[in-house]
Amino acid sequence: MNPLFSTINDKIERSERLDVDEALQLARCDDLLGLGALAARANARLNGARVLFNRNRHINYTNVCVNACNFCAFRRDDRQQGAYCLTPQEVGERAAAAATAGAREVHVVGGLHPEQPLAYYLDLLRAIRRAAPDIHIKAFTAVEIDHLSHLSGLSLAELLEELKSAGLDSLPGGGAEIFAPAVRHQLCPEKITGKRWLEVMAAVHRAGLRSNATMLFGHLESWEDRIDHLRQLRELQDETGGFMAFIPLPYQADNTRLPGLRGPGGVEILKTLAISRLFLDNFQHLKGYWVMLGVKLAQVALAFGVNDLDGTVIEERIGHAAGAASPQVLSCEELCWLIRRAGKQPVERDSLYRLLGEH
């Protein structure tokens, strides 16, 4: 074993943390499978042979967005052709259909609509709650929360209380993109800063809500930017403990406005997942989001530290608008088959990562 890998291996055994410099050294090493084996060991200590999934449905309530992030192929201007905004009733109907189909969670995110008031969002949550009383409502990224706070004039704490009482159960981890200010400015100039994203998440966790965290990678950022992103997440997690899963998202290159970028290859994606697993010792779960990774690579990622394959994800729109080639839906049977073929044990979870039983 090379000296770097021995050091990291010892650290895993002693439950010690990697520092930024070690993570950067791992990023520079070309022993992909050696790195994967380390990440797999770190994961096995946390999660054994279990691989988790849930039954969920995505609902993108609007594609109208005041921001115009360069990596997004989903957004529309308010009156542009193809723009839409679902009514609370329509969202409720979709949630009811999802519940009937066996989903335990709805994942509700959308653009930053210029005109909808806070009441719309509260109605939307209430409509879901009414239509599907038992479904877990995971909704609104930190970016939407910031937008709602501005348009309503409420503090984050006040806003989150309102949303909670209307039915919000937890938050997804989107909108983090990459925290590094220079890259973020090129990528999504109108979007809240990385600092603000972290502030919102701190408030979310203080409000007793749990969330995930993401990183969009493989565009303009350096490995230093990636590791720094992980470092900031790890620090906030030390303070709040409110993050459940970390979800690295490979940039999808089609139909977006960053010419010349191809998006990361399979090797780069696996490396990023493995280093994330090793560095984020205080995150229990690392998600291989098959919508963005592709089903095949997501399965392979189970050998590189991933312990969660997200869910059945009916009707994902955002990644697919940017050219993600994955199917629109995976059945539970197919998810379980993929997990079993990898020699692991499929376990269904709920949205808060409580285990619901083996499949």
Partner 1 sequence: MLAGISDKLNCGQPIGREEALYLLQEAELLEVGRLADRMRQRLHPQRRVTFVVDRNVNYSNVCLAGCSFCAFYRSPGVEGGYLLSHQQILAKVSELAAQGGTQLLLQGGLHPELTIDWFEELFRQIRSQFPSVQIHSLSPAEIVHTAELSGLTIADCLRRLRDAGLASLPGGGAELLVDEVRARISPNKIGWRQWAQVMEEAHAQGMATTATMVLGFGEEPQQIIEHLFRIRELQPASGGFTAFIPWTFQPANTDLGGRGASAWDYLKVLAVSRLVLDNIPNLQASWVTQGAAVAQTALFFGANDLGGTMLEENVVAAAGTSFRLSKEELIALIREAGFVAARRDTGYGILQEYC
Tell whether residue 302 is a contact of partner 1 (CB under 8 A). Answer: yes
Amino acid residing at 204: V
Nearest CB to partner 1, comparing residues 137 and 269: 269
Question: b/e map of 3-12 (b: 16 or more CB within 10 Å)?
Answer: ebbeebbebb
Smallest gap from residue 8 Cβ to partner 1 (A):
15
CB of 213 to partner 1, least distance (A): 23
CB of residue 133 to partner 1, shortest distance in Å: 36
Which of 24, 34, 151, 196 is the binder for partner 1 (CB under 8 A)?
Answer: 34
**106 is a site residue for partner 1 (CB under 8 A):** no
45: contact with partner 1 by CB under 8 A: no
Tell me the closest approach of the beta carbon of residue 257 to partner 1, in angstroms. 21
Smaller CB separation from partner 1, 18 or 40: 40
- Residue pair 270/301 in contact (Cβ under 8 Å)? The answer is yes
> Reading across the β-sheet that carries 243-250, which strands appear in turn?
56-60, 105-109, 136-139, 170-171, 210-217, 243-250, 285-286
SS3 168: coil
> What is the x/- site pattern for partner 1, positions 326-355, by CB under 8 A?
--------x--xx--xxx------------
Query: Beta 105-109 vs 136-139: how paired, if at all?
Result: parallel
Interactions with partner 1, residue window 252-281 (CB under 8 A): 262, 265-270
Pick between residue 139 and residue 338 the one whose CB is nearest to partner 1.
338
Q: Are 350 and 333 in contact (CB under 8 A)?
A: no
Out of 252, 299, 307, 351, name the contact with partner 1 by CB under 8 A: 299
d(CA 128, CA 357): 26
Q: Please tell me whether residue 48 binds partner 1 under the rule CB under 8 A.
A: no
Scanning 17-25, 32-40, 85-93, 110-118 for contacts with partner 1 by CB under 8 A, the matching segment is 32-40
Q: What are the C-alpha distances in Å from 320 to residues 73, 242, 308?
A: 9, 29, 20
Binding status of residue 30 toward partner 1 by CB under 8 A: yes
Through-space distance between the first and last CA atoms of the chain, rounded to whole angstroms: 37
DSSP run (H or E) holding 273: helix 266-279
How far apart, in Å, are the Cα atoms of 151 and each of 117, 244, 260?
7, 28, 37
Interface with partner 1 includes 156 (CB under 8 A)?
A: no
**If binding is defined by CB under 8 A, does position 174 make contact with partner 1?**
no
- 292 near partner 1 (CB under 8 A): no
Q: How far is the CB of 37 from partner 1 (least distance, A)?
A: 5
Q: How far is the CB of 33 from partner 1 (least distance, A)?
A: 5
Number of residues that bind partner 1 (CB under 8 A): 30
Contacts of 28 (CB under 8 A, 6+ apart): 223
Cβ atoms 53, 349 nearer than 8 A: yes
Q: List Cβ neighbours of 113 (8 Å cut-off, separation of 6 or more).
A: 62, 64, 65, 66, 78, 85, 120
Of 295 and 321, which CB lies nearer to partner 1 in the complex structure? 295
Does position 78 interact with partner 1 (CB under 8 A)? The reply is no
358 binds partner 1 (CB under 8 A): no
Shortest reach from residue 278's CB to partner 1, in Å: 15
Sheet with 50-54, side-by-side order of all strands: 308-311, 50-54, 345-349, 355-358
- 248 is a site residue for partner 1 (CB under 8 A): no
Using rule CB under 8 A, residue 215 touches partner 1: no
Q: Under DSSP, is residue 230 helix (H, G, I), strand (E, B) or coil?
A: helix
CB of 233 to partner 1, least distance (A): 25
**Which positions lie near partner 1, rule CB under 8 A?**
30, 32-34, 36-37, 40, 262, 265-270, 293-297, 299-300, 302-303, 325, 334, 337-338, 341-343
